[in-house]
Amino acid sequence: MPIEFTLNGAPCRVPTRPGESLLETLRERCGIGSLKDGCSPQGQCGCCLALIDGHPKVTCAMPAAAAEGKTIVTLEGVAAGERDLIARAFAAAAGLQCGFCIPGIALRAKHLTDKNPDPSRAEIARAIDVHLCRCTGYVKIVDAIALLARAKRGEPLPEPCAEGRVGSSLARYRAAAYTVGERDYVDDLTRPGMLHGAVVLSPHPRAKVVRVDTTRARAHPGVVAVATAADVPGERWYGLIYPDWPGFVAAGEEVRCVGDVLAAVAAVDRHTARQAAQLVDVEYEVLTPVLDPAAALAPAAPRVNPRHENRLSHSVIRRGDVDAALARSAHVVSGTWTTQRIEHCYLEPESALAEPLPGGRLGLYTQGQGVFDDRRQVATFLGVSEDRISVELVPNGGAFGGKEDMSVQAQTALLAHLSRRPVKLTLSREESIRLHPKRHPITMRYTVGCDADGRLTAVKARMLGDSGAYASVGGKVLERAAGHACGPYRVPHVDVEAIAAYTNNPPCGAMRGFGANQAHFAIEGCMDLLARHAGLDAWEMRWRNALQVGDTFSTGQVLEKSVGIKRTLAAVRDRYFEAKHQGRAVGIACGLKNSGIGNGAEEWGKARLVVESDGTVSLYNGYTEMGQGLLTVLIQFAVEVTGLPATLFRPKVDSTYALGCGQTTGSRATMFGGRAVMTAAAKLRTDLDAGRTLTELAGREYAADVVTNDTTALGAPVAKVKTHTSFGYATQVCILDEQGRVERFIAAHDVGRAVNPALCEGQIEGSIHMGLGYALTEELPCVNGMPATFKLRELGVLRARDMPAVEVILVEEPEPEGPLGAKGVGEIGLVPTAAAVAGALEAYDGVRRTTLPMKDSPAARAMSVGRIRSG
């Protein structure tokens, strides 16, 4: 049925189908790219905001028919001068990271500042309440909107930092395009003749697949291809560590979780593909699922995954004689700490586009955290050599570890292969939550001792994590939890075991912090308990035990450099004691997080600088931009070395060169990627210093592949233990108000070298936002293996009005193995957060909470999100 409306000043008459949302009409029929789909049809993220008759409305929850006769304005229709002002305000304030949420917020900002020329920060926070941002913690978004308001009142915007050397807050690469919605994410890409894909997921966590019948789906009008396990020409099973995850579950096999894919459909449009997917008939023989990791380890438990026993991993650290040390200790505390499964909740759901290329090759556009791993796995799946597939990263709308594993790349590639047409497949929010790995729930039993002066004597810990149906990197997460079990403290006697178990729950894998968050919640809780026994202040307890150069880390590694934990403690000291003396409820926690995977992994930074004929320099690297600002800081390293202006560099991540570095994980991309860029840039600098111009150098390539391979595996019998290249350190302070709400957070972080201070702060602010959700409101419980909710608001991610004031203190303790002293900052921001909140809550009401999220607390009750009502 056609509807008529005015869109950005022009009359429109477009056909619609019954039930079509206005978002679908505007994106798919009118080509409006500034509206993004983060959660349709929930109406809970704000990414699809438009002005309708002058009012801001989310368009995914609005039937297209309701737009009849309306006047619709999107960012595309905002006057060029104002668009430019909005873009410059967000760039100047560093008010964006992955950018996926930003166009919706930018339009909201325009509307707000039109109506209220001088909004307060609280008014801004309230105005953007509909909008979810998973990256920024909203701090710099509010800054940007305040800046925009001032600019609209005639005040000049700050000049953007253009020089871009290391240490300057160079504006994020392509910040303006991100802000006004001109930067394409995968789901924004189109190709002539492109088909749309949809997947069929298992409704059961464990069942035998008796039959997969695609007859009705194939007959559906508009369907071009249907794929099942029988159509996979190559190896159907993939996985980052173990190939235990089938791209399609075949008849005769078991489904192992509610994210398992049975079939995929390609059709002329997304709606038809989804309709047809519902016509795939799957017959199941339902089996009793294994839902508890402890039960999974019982001898008689059914095997969850045919490729591996139920005990996925067992990590052990033993140093000294723990039992004897505990027996000698003046004070000993014990307890069990439990953490929850949570959803990454990146705003951009998974999407891939595959297209046949001349010569029988295939092009793959992916948002993965390791595009070369994606290429390798897709090639194996299709049974072709890797060089038959060209891959390109489309910088994603958030990942946080959840886009390390394959999502829909293989199925999309197969549909393109079968149909011989371009195919794009984008998951709905519900499908995304069902399919990708989550943060591990871990149960941790701790016993920790100290002497009469509060000096730690021994740590004994037993950890059990629920890794769900597939290995993903779950074994490594528990290994990392074991390695971080003692926190940033000197502990002479250590006895830690960590087990990851398969279950029929959704898989768990990498998520920002990677096991360190869970371990710190427990060990920092023990530190508070021991401080009380020893009669010490919590700050003093940490100061006495904090690692220094020359101390031994829990894994046995002697720390030789860049140990900034004491400097971060010193940085918060005055504020911490001042708040305590004012009678406030205050919590403090420390943390460390490895920078670089380590544990014996060979790690690479790879870069190519190519001088182009137009005078620009292409900067190729192998790591993924996912909002953390990697491409911007790599430009800064190149600027620092070559002296060329930042505007000349064009970052690219694709398979033009063999730059596979594995996953963008372990807070390592800045460290290893930066080293490679600096090495390549030094070669270019040599030519420039010889008097050659860029015009003369057009076509020249400058290459650097830099390897780090001197770390040792956990528990390896080596003379010199070095489990990690580097660590970031942090101390965080949580201050509550008189009602027990989180009022203020102070975060001091040793970042080695702040390559871009504004981006650094943004990483930490965003992490604290994520950490507060983890502490208080976020969880993804499952009922019989199925997530209990798919609604963003119920997942508990904090809204702008829930955020406390955040003060970030950057401490620079240079890392000699990092580029110009830098080390990773992407993960550590939320490692100590939950423990700091727990300490503050205990100071407030005397209750020591050992289970996350701490929903029974006044701080959690004060939040606007997090109550699951879906049942």
Interacting residues toward ligand FES by CB under 6 A: 37-40, 42-48, 58, 60, 96-102, 133-136, 347, 398, 627
Supply the minimum distance, in Å, between the C-beta of residue 447 and ligand FES: 40
- Minimum distance from residue 130 beta carbon to ligand FES (Å): 7
State both tokens at 145: 């909107």
Neighbours of 155 (CB within 10 A): 10
Closest approach, Cβ 430 to ligand FES, in A, equals: 13
C-beta of 187 vs 779, nearer to ligand FES? 187
Which of 344/608 has CB closer to ligand FES? 344
Residue 701 buriedness (CB in 10 A; 0-12 / 13-18 / 19+): middle
Q: Locate tokens 């109550």: which residue?
A: 867
Q: Which is nearer to ligand FES, 37 or 355 (CB)?
A: 37
> Shortest gap between Cβ of 187 and ligand FES (angstroms)?
11
Integer CA distances (angstroms), 478 to 13, 205, 770, in order: 56, 23, 20
Spacing of C-alpha 78 from chain mean position = 31
Say which residue the tokens 């004897």 belong to: 324
How many CA atoms, within 13 angstroms, populate the side-chain half-sphere of residue 445?
A: 5
Give the strand pairing for 2-7 and 71-73: parallel
Shortest distance, CB of residue 433 to ligand FES, whole angstroms? 14
3-state secondary structure of 442: strand
Do strands 493-502 and 456-468 pair parallel, antiparallel, or not at all (unpaired)? parallel
Compare residues 179 and 505 and give the one whose CB is closer to ligand FES: 179
Question: Strand, coil or helix: what is 577?
Answer: helix
Task: Decide whether 44 or 228 has the Cβ nearer to ligand FES.
Answer: 44
Shortest distance, CB of residue 840 to ligand FES, whole angstroms? 27
Neighbours of 839 (CB within 10 A): 27
Q: How many CB atoms within 10 Å of residue 162?
A: 11
- E strand or H helix at 811: strand 805-811
DSSP state of 156: P
Nearer to ligand FES, 139 or 491 (CB): 139
Round to whole Å and give the CA distance between 659 and 565.
Answer: 34
- How far is it, in rounded angstroms, from Cα 265 to Cα 287? 27
Nearest distance from residue 800's CB to ligand FES, in Å?
Answer: 11
* Cβ pair 443, 366 in contact under 8 A: no
As measured in angstroms, the least distance from the Cβ of 867 to ligand FES is 19
Beta strands per DSSP E along 329-480: 331-338, 351-357, 361-366, 389-393, 423-426, 442-450, 456-468
With tokens 């909140």, the residue in question is 837
Min dist. Cβ of residue 611 to ligand FES (A)? 32
Shortest separation between residue 108's beta carbon and ligand FES, angstroms:
12
**φ and ψ at residue 333, rounded to 5 degrees:** -125, 150
CB of 772 to ligand FES, least distance (A): 16
758 or 836: CB nearest ligand FES: 758
Q: How far is residue 664 from each of residues 186, 630, 748, measured CA to CA in Å?
A: 18, 10, 24
**Rg for the chain (alpha carbons), in Å?**
26
State in angstroms the smallest separation of the CB of 136 from ligand FES. 5
Report the distance separating Cα 23 and Cα 39, nearest Å. Answer: 11
CB-based contact 456:545 (threshold 8 Å): yes
Q: Token pair 């970031």 is at which residue?
A: 728
Between 45 and 592, CB nearer to ligand FES = 45
DSSP string over 673-730: IHHHHHHHHHHHHHHHHTT--TTTTTT-EEEEEEEE-----TT---SS----SEEEEE
Nearest approach, Cβ of residue 393 and ligand FES (Å): 16
Estimate the crossing angle of helix 409-419 against helix 371-382, to 10 degrees: 50
Residue 112's CB is within 10 A of a number of other CB atoms, namely: 21
Q: Give 178 or 372: the residue with its C-beta nearer to ligand FES.
A: 178
User: Look-up: residue for tokens 């005769």?
Assistant: 252
**Chain centroid to CA 820:** 26
Minimum distance from residue 473 beta carbon to ligand FES (Å): 23
Minimal distance, residue 61 CB to ligand FES, in Å? 6
DSSP 76: G
Nearer to ligand FES, 511 or 782 (CB): 511
